[in-house]
Chain A
């Protein structure tokens, strides 16, 4: 069965500092991996996705993620966080290249940004 683990429930980071959110997955087939952000009262917004090719993928809002097959990981990074990055972040895996279809989500990581 597929599963996604986000080990960090909360992360607090200072504005301007770098951010890394961890994600590990277990999936029997070719994994299609996604990162979403959820701001309070908002729906999930797709940050980036990976299914093949270059293992370092760039997304919106200055985020990037690196796929490491040997570690079954897909960690999200941002070099310098802004106060507006405070939100909850979800890693997800799905059976299709297209985002949002039949996803299995991790538990989420809530990011707090200190001024």
Chain B
């Protein structure tokens, strides 16, 4: 159990367009989901925490209007990169937990390339 799936695994988009990344918990209800970003040769950085039915909490320095997070159901959270630019090219990965301080499991990540 505890499988988290992200879609797509990779995406290439044109500068100025928006792209949506999905994070699904396949076999459990994820009350809480976390979104991370990994730039090339750098570590994973927490972007935001989302709780089902609530607005996401963004980490300092992360633009909430650019990275829209929706967690409308207990099995799905989406990250939309709006008006993407080449500097947004990165590896985005989510983790999901049942909440209440339980373990969060990671998806396989999505590699976004903006050209």
A98 within 8 A of B: yes
Is A101 a contact partner of B34 (Cβ separation < 8 A)?
Answer: yes
Is A100 a contact partner of B105 (Cβ separation < 8 A)?
Answer: yes
Q: How many angstroms from the CA of A29 to the CA of B6 in the assembled complex?
A: 32
Q: How many angstroms from the CA of A43 to the CA of B25 in the assembled complex?
A: 13
Q: Is the interface of B mostly helix, strand, loop or mixed?
A: strand
Q: Mark B40-84, 1 if CB is under 8 A from A, else 0.
A: 011111100100000000000000000000000000000000000
26 examples of A-B residue contacts, CB within 8 angstroms: A4-B43, A36-B106, A42-B108, A43-B4, A43-B6, A43-B109, A44-B93, A90-B43, A97-B101, A98-B97, A98-B101, A98-B102, A98-B103, A99-B104, A101-B32, A101-B97, A101-B101, A101-B104, A103-B34, A103-B36, A103-B44, A105-B44, A106-B43, A107-B42, A107-B43, A108-B43
